[in-house]
Amino acid sequence: MSYAKELAAAKKAVSLAARLSQKVQKSLSETDIWTKSDSSPVTVADYGSQAIVNLVLEKELHPEPLSLVAEEDSADLRKIGAESVLARITELVKDTLATDESCGASPLSSDDVLSAIDRGKSEGGPKGRHWILDPIGGTRGFIRGEQYAVGLALLVEGKVVLGVMACPRLPLESTAFNIQKSSPGKVGCLFFAAIGSGTYAQSLNGLSPPEKVQVSSVDDPEKATFFESYHTPVPFHSSIAKKLGIKAFPIRVNSQTKYAALSRGDGEVYLRFTRKAESIWNHAAGSVVVSEAGGIVSDAEGNPLDFSKGKYLSYKTGIIATTQKLMPRLLKAVRESMEEEKFNNL
């Protein structure tokens, strides 16, 4: 089945959301950032991005019913004292939509923006169609002026069928470099994939044509590099890398940018082992971008990730993404490391 209409709408929505985020990141102030009840940071860009994606999808896909599973809600924005922040978000959304001729000048009110944000409260599930959105993936990196991503995917009958990711700080040139901070030169990439059609990348500003990308052809683990989140180094990851013979230091970066970089061969392995529940919006777009580029995304036992159980992934122990060539040896290294960890904890 072709998803051309849905893919076009998703590309427009993500591109505009990225445009808003770029504007905010350039002039980020303390009043643009605050802490949610779970102690994680959130910015005006997170809310503005979510509102824009919903508004664009509704306009482009009308009259189809829209189910959106997204990270944010408007509860904090409805509290007394948040009026100035809400006004800023509303202006950001209006100004960004006005930059696109097909959207035109919008008479949006603050209530319209609040409603657009809250339409991301769907629970998803195995039936029907559900859009899955990470409005600003890697908020901590975004705040520091580093890598972040806007990720949007479509789930149909429990399967991810397309994904679009904007990586506004990712250099256009595909090389094996350190992407923890933006490199000089041209930056800003848009990745997109639809099931059975491959993965493509182009400049975020749309000035370059899409080019098909493929995962790395490296088949020697000693020559591979791996990605992990930009947090405290995970000893378990190091154990796996050592068993594979990987000698390069890990590329640490927040957000689904890791999936994007892996899909075009900037590295060969992505490891994510954590005791926390994993939200589907953190992996949905990235999983299809990597798989359509010839890679594999699975849990620690080699099973495909299950996005049909609601807002959280159903998976065994951890998440790994790599190439077809390296997957057998990676799974072996994961199993051995897990057995050693169990023995050491006895």
Neighbouring CB atoms inside 10 A of 43's CB total: 22
Cα torsion through 319, 323, 329, 333, rounded to 10: -30
219 is catalytic: no
Closest to 45 in 3D by CA, of 81, 76, 79, 85: 85
Is there a contact between 145 and 25 (Cβ–Cβ < 8 Å)?
yes
**Catalytic, out of 32, 46, 134, 299:** 46
139 is catalytic: yes
Tens-digit pLDDT string for the chain (346 aa) = 789 999 999 999 999 999 999 999 999 999 999 888 788 899 999 999 999 999 999 999 999 889 999 999 999 999 989 999 999 999 999 999 999 988 866 689 999 999 999 999 999 999 999 999 999 999 999 999 999 999 999 999 999 999 999 999 999 987 655 455 545 568 999 999 999 999 999 999 988 899 999 999 999 999 999 998 876 568 889 999 999 999 888 888 889 999 999 999 999 999 998 878 899 999 999 999 999 999 999 999 999 999 999 999 987 789 999 999 999 999 999 999 999 887 566 4
Residue 221, CA atoms < 13 Å, CB-side half-sphere: 17
Cα–Cα distance between 60 and 246 in angstroms, integer? Answer: 46
For the chain, which domains are there?
Answer: 4-213 (3.30.540.10), 221-344 (3.40.190.80)
Please tell me the pTM assigned to this model.
Answer: 0.95
Going from the C-alpha of 10 to that of each of 95, 158, 257, the distances in angstroms are 19, 18, 17
Q: Which value, in Å, is the radius of gyration of the alpha carbons in the chain?
A: 19
Amino acid making up residue 264: R
Tokens of 249: 């230091």
**Catalytic, out of 96, 139, 225, 257:** 139
